[in-house]
């Protein structure tokens, strides 16, 4: 199970009629609590400046080392996706770029809802997500990894194809919270 061998020492030193309690620090040290030990960040819920609830995660794009943020949010009818690139390469964001979401071995195209907008230190836009992709995301185990890929007409940090990987830990619960808000709105 991946726990530290020293945990067995504590168990052996504890009398049969006693219970040894671990502190939070010990639980992490002995890998009993292994949350957050994935190399990929967990999804978290945050509120935007406009009061919109976001299921948010961040990554560094492979090969380009560009910081990227992806966020799912509720629209009037569905859940959409926001992608933000921390970049000053205006020429790369002059046109809408095709993006896709890869879940396991299936690829789902993301439809841009607007042109790229300049935001603090970078560019962002919103994408619609096929309902089939949302359902697939809800079925993934926390250990899964999803990929987002963008195809830029002008190279972004030397690459025309930019790929990011995101862990799924926490995403299912975050999407459930967004879906609750969606069902209340309808």
On average, the pLDDT of the chain sits at: 88
Residue 39: inside a domain, yes or no? no
Query: Over 80: is that where the pLDDT of 3 sits?
Result: no
The answer to whether residue 20 is domain-embedded is: yes
pLDDT value at 183 more than 70: no
Same domain? For 58 and 137 the reply is yes
Q: What is the pLDDT of residue 7?
A: 84
Q: What is the pLDDT of residue 162?
A: 95
* pTM (two decimals): 0.77
CB 59 within 8 A of CB 42: no
pLDDT exceeds cutoff 60 at 131: yes
Is the same domain home to 101 and 157? yes
Residues 18 and 71 in one domain: no
Q: Quick one: pLDDT at residue 114? A: 95
Domain span at residue 86? 44-185
Residues 113 and 171 in one domain: yes
Of 39, 21, 38, nearest to 30 by C-alpha is 21
85-93 long-range contacts (CB < 8 A, ≥24 apart) are 85/61, 85/122, 85/123, 85/124, 85/156, 85/162, 86/121, 86/122, 87/122, 87/123, 87/156, 87/157, 88/121, 88/122, 89/154, 89/156, 89/157, 91/154, 92/152, 92/153, 92/154, 92/155, 92/156, 93/123
More confident residue, 1 or 47: 47
- Residue 101: its pLDDT value, please? 97
Query: Is position 79 within any domain?
Result: yes
**Pair 27, 54 in one domain:** no
Structural domain total, the chain: 2
Same-domain check for residues 108 and 165: yes
pLDDT band for position 38 (50/70/90)? low
At 67, the pLDDT band (50, 70, 90 cuts) reads very high
DSSP for 25-77, written as a single string: HHHHHTTSS-TT-SSSPPPEEEE-TTS-EEEEEEEE-BTT--EEEEEEEE-SS
Would residue 84 count as lying in a domain?
A: yes
CB 73 within 8 A of CB 55: yes
Q: And the tokens for 140?
A: 């993934």
Q: Which are the contacts of 89, defined by CB distance < 8 A and separation ≥ 6? A: 154, 156, 157
Is residue 147 pLDDT above 70, yes or no? yes
**Is residue 11 one of the residues assigned to a domain?**
yes
Task: Answer yes or no: do 161 and 86 share one domain.
Answer: yes
């Amino acid at each position: 199970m991946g726990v530290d061998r020293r945990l067995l020492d504590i168990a052996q030193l504890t009398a049969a009629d006693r219970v040894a309690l671990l502190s939070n620090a010990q639980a992490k040290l002995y890998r009993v609590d292994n949350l957050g030990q994935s190399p990929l960040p967990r999804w978290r819920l945050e509120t935007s400046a406009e009061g919109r609830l976001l299921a948010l995660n961040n990554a560094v794009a492979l090969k380009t080392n560009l910081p990227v943020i992806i966020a799912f949010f509720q629209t009037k009818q569905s859940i959409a996706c926001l992608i933000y690139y921390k970049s000053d390469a205006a020429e790369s964001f002059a046109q809408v770029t095709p993006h896709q979401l890869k879940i396991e071995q299936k690829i789902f195209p993301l439809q841009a809802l607007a042109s790229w907008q300049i935001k603090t230190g970078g560019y962002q836009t919103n994408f619609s997500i096929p309902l089939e992709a949302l359902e697939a995301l809800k079925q993934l185990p926390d250990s899964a990894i999803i990929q987002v890929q963008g195809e830029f007409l002008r190279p972004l940090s030397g690459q025309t194809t930019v790929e990011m990987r995101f862990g799924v830990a926490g995403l299912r619960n975050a999407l459930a919270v967004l879906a609750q808000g969606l069902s209340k709105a309808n």
